[in-house]
Chains A and B, each alone.
Chain A
Amino acid sequence: MKRYILKRVVQGIITLVGVSIVVFLLIHLNGDPVALLLPAEATPEAHAALRKELRLDEPLYVQYGIFLLNALQGDFGTSLRWNRPALEVFAERFPNTVLLASAAMAWSLLIGVTMGVMSAVHEGNWIDRIARIVATVGQATPVFWLGIMLILLFSVKLGWFPTSGIGGPQHLVLPSLTLGLAFAAGTMRLTRSTMLDVLDRDYIKLARIKGVPEHQVIVRHALLNALIPVFTVAAMDFVVLMSGTVITEYIFNWPGVGGLVAESIFARDYSTIQTTLLVLSIVIVVTNVIVDIVYTYIDPRIELE
């Protein structure tokens, strides 16, 4: 077990080093970084002084070493657009994204697992067919369209929830539902297929022969086993949600990391883009490692290879 964990951690570190190299090179792709940092009227002397101060006159590998060392200390430079430390800008938005992603994941599991179980239990009948159609439509529906439709229905027509912004729990409902519905379709299909697989196992048949009530067979014996791969995929979805909520944040004016990335790209704010990419990469890699390790505890049949 220890060897497996060590192996996964080392793999994670190698991945992060690779990401850090790509992120470091990002700022060099658009010409001279000093030209980006200084005002137009700056003198050649000011350029030279800043170049020396930032050690941009050093060889590229030395610059990378400095970048890595600073990053490890939480220093990602100053945001060009916000004129503040980039990590500070990121840290302001990140909790909002985690909140939105968590709520969306809750919707995804609630709707996806419920529909998946119902579909599997009623395999082949009208409930199954409707659930599968809903899942197909759900996966094919663009998030921007769904978001605007939800606003028109629940905010404009019914007046139940605010259209946008951040505030109380009521502000969280529509953006998280928009995202959650998009992911629920996948969760439903996965739950359905794993439930069908489990329901066909001998121990389920045995439980039924022994006269265990059907709801207990489904919930206690089938669902708990079927959920293992669902939660594994959900953990990966959660990571995707944290890094890929740009459109939903845009529509619902949710001040999260997705919007920050979009604004930073439009503004060519390399420090903020670098910070966001690197920190999100760390979150993704760490989550992956944790999920892999936890998985071995949840399902002891998995071999540590």
Chain B
Amino acid sequence: MKLPSMKSWRSIAGSTLMLTMVVGAANAAEGEVTVAFQGTSWVARGVDTATVTSGNGAIINNISGDSLVTKNANAEVIPSMAERWVWAPDGKSVEFFLRKGITFQNGEAFTAEDVKFSIERVQREDFKNNYGAFELRNLYEGTDIIDDHHVRIRFKSPYPAFTDRLFEYFKMQPKDYIEEVGDEAYARNPVGAGPFRVVDFKQDSWIEYEAWEGHFRNPPKVKKLRLVFVPEPATIVAMLKTGEADIASVDPQMVRDIKADSNLRLITSDNTILAQLSFADVAPANAGNNSPFHNKKVREAVSYAIDREAISQISLQGLARPFKGILAPWHAGYDPVFSTPDKYDPARAKVMLSEAGYADGFETEIQAYGPGPWWEIAKAVKGYLDAVGIRTKLQLIDNSVHAERCHGLWKGTYALTGLIVSEAWWNARAHPVTPIHGQLTKQAQWSCGVTSDEVDAAIRKTNDIPIDSPELPAAAQEMQRTIYDAWVRVDVVAGKFAMAAGPRIESYENVQGLVFPANFENLSLKAE
């Protein structure tokens, strides 16, 4: 008779432990909640969290998935499936000490092998749409399994943003189960380590979850959670009013309707949506074109042409404010004087255009990926630029197209020029480079790598300084100055991510500084 392997023994022990926890926690979770989100599904294959296609996919990742770390409501990275971690002094590797005795939702024990498997699976080339893996592919070197509960992950260069990305995109997946059933079956019957397990789903329409009361860290307070994807913002508001949705993401244009209904309340998380204008022509691939944006004065004129206050109040219904700055108030090196946005001055913008030799203006393109507030911001920006003579052709595109166009720009197969309205963010409590590593370095995912050699070098230099180093504040300030002196981007507004809750919701607190909602396990319902 073949004896069970060590991993099988661990699974049996884990299952026993899980059963004990389930019995202990019986009846802890109650009620059903429907969460509605604007847009369509963000997962390419079933509910396989390794195949998310946009930043919004992080929502799905955090419902049924868990990772080595997580974030609390103050956005501090805290231990989860790893008890602790230690960065190497050079920032090029990090060792994780895994929590013992925990399992995946199917009872399979969680070990170092699963970590290596998960980190490498998410980078698979045939999962090319995976949103977060793009950055990892460029930086990953390898994973060493030191023992069953101890791994070392190595990078080609320092990667302080890695723990943030673990929380956002790199969820732990059960190696044995996936290898046994294959990709397709796994996408249909996924098993994660998160607080909710997938019960059923209809691709691109909805996903039904049930509380996994055996979750070691934070068993959910509601028994069932249904995630529904709804493209039309007005329909979302109607769903909240009828009670078909208990909590939902809210388009800025719908905020007035929410405020007018006494049964609904707005839940916002601050500084989560930073809208910026990137100049595609600054990208090295566009060095040879004859765009007016090669002239720094023209780029500066763009900044004065935009009325940030009006965009905040009208396009985003007061859920935003004008902003400037790579560094947020909680980052090392933050300087409030530096962070004053340029004032709206269209006359000055016209003079600058004239001085640059474009008194009659010129034609260009402006593209924004979405759907979401970026499209609203792009429409407003277009109006302001048209008014000073920068006649723009507006292109509203899907997130995935944006990524493809970036790839095309780098490879010279797509002539991406003009302006890009893109998303930036201020990750709270993180290394100051974390928010812009994926933004302003060469071949960065989120703004097409629109950068210059000096900006790229400044970011990489700051990136290499550990977060607890006394040199970091000065280096971060220098990096920020270099970025703004180069005029590679113009900041527009810092917005809040808005959700609305219906009368059944007792409490829900999103993680501050996140562009997407998370921690639904903390959501609770009022007593009937």
Contact = CB atoms under 8 A, between A and B. Distances in A.
Contact of A39 (B128, B204, B231): B128
B129 A40 contact: no
Contact of A35 (B40, B129, B242, B411): B411
Nearest to A165: B228
Given A35-B407, A35-B408, A83-B127, A163 B239 contact: yes
Contacts of B397: 266, 268
Interface in B194-216: 202-206
Contact of A31 (B401, B408, B443): B408
Given A81-B53, A83-B127, A84-B44, A156 B242 contact: yes
Nearest to A155: B242
B265 interface: no
A84 B401 contact: no
B244 interface: yes
B229 A253 contact: yes
Given A36-B404, A39-B407, A166 B235 contact: no
A41 B230 CA distance: 34
A83 B45 CA distance: 7
A207 B229 CA distance: 58
Contact of A253 (B44, B230, B413): B230
A51 B421 CA distance: 33
B51 interface: yes
A303 B445 CA distance: 64
A194 B408 CA distance: 57
A281 to B, nearest CB: 23
Contacts of A152: 238
B137 interface: yes
A77 to B, nearest CB: 14
Given A155-B242, A253-B231, A165 B413 contact: no
Interface residues of A, number: 36
Interface in B378-412: 397-398, 400-401, 404, 406-408, 410-411
A267 B238 contact: no
Interface string A210-221: 000000000000
Given A35-B414, A36-B404, A39-B125, A263 B398 contact: yes
A269 B401 CA distance: 9
Contacts of A151: 234-235, 238
A121 B229 CA distance: 47
Interface string B300-337: 00000000000000000000000000000000000000
Contacts of B400: 80-81, 267-269
Interface string B138-161: 100000000000000000000000
Given A35-B413, A83-B127, A267-B400, A148 B44 contact: no
Interface string A30-44: 011001101111000
Contact of A165 (B51, B129, B137, B206): B206
A36 B138 CA distance: 19
A252 B404 CA distance: 29
Interface string B30-58: 00000000001000110000010100000
B414 A31 contact: yes
Contacts of A36: 404
A162 B245 CA distance: 11
B244 A162 contact: yes
Given A253-B205, A253-B231, A163 B407 contact: no
Contacts of B407: 35, 39-40
A99 B254 CA distance: 31
B126 interface: yes
Contacts of A250: 231-232
B404 A156 contact: no
B205 A164 contact: no
Interface in A28-85: 31-32, 35-36, 38-41, 80-84
Contacts of B404: 36, 80, 268
Q: How large is the interface on B (under 10, 10 to 19, 20 to 34, 35 or more residues)?
A: 35 or more
B241 interface: yes
Given A84-B45, A156-B241, A251 B125 contact: no
A156 B235 CA distance: 10
Interface in A122-161: 148, 151-152, 155-156, 159
A99 B408 CA distance: 40
Interface string A222-257: 000000000000000000000000000011110100
A189 to B, nearest CB: 30
Q: Which of A41, A156, A252: most chain B CB closer than 10 A?
A: A41
Contacts of A40: 134, 406-407, 410-411, 443
B439 to A, nearest CB: 16
Given A35-B413, A155-B238, A83 B51 contact: yes
A259 interface: yes
A200 interface: no
Contacts of B127: 83
Given A163-B238, A163-B239, A32 B413 contact: yes
A260 B241 CA distance: 27
A92 interface: yes
A255 B45 CA distance: 16
A243 to B, nearest CB: 19
Nearest to A263: B40
Contacts of B203: 82, 92
Interface string B427-458: 00000000000000001000000000000000
B156 to A, nearest CB: 13
B411 A165 contact: no
Contacts of A269: 400
B441 to A, nearest CB: 14
A92 B206 CA distance: 14
Nearest to A265: B398
Interface in B236-251: 238-239, 241-242, 244
Contacts of A164: 230, 232, 235, 238-239, 244
A71 B206 CA distance: 31
Given A35-B407, A148-B234, A163-B244, A266 B401 contact: yes
A235 B224 CA distance: 44
Contacts of B414: 31, 35
B232 A251 contact: yes
A253 B242 contact: no
A93 B466 CA distance: 50
Q: Which of B228, B242, B410: most chain A CB closer than 10 A?
A: B242
B137 A255 contact: no
Contacts of B125: 39
B242 A81 contact: no
A168 to B, nearest CB: 13
Nearest to A79: B44
Contacts of A162: 242, 244
Contacts of A268: 397-398, 400-401, 404
B129 A83 contact: yes
Given A155-B242, A163-B239, A267-B398, A82 B44 contact: yes
8 contacts: A39-B125, A40-B134, A40-B411, A81-B398, A155-B242, A165-B228, A253-B228, A253-B232
Given A80-B129, A164-B232, A253-B229, 15 more contacts: A32-B413, A35-B407, A39-B125, A40-B406, A83-B44, A83-B126, A84-B44, A84-B45, A151-B234, A151-B238, A166-B202, A166-B205, A253-B228, A255-B205, A259-B231
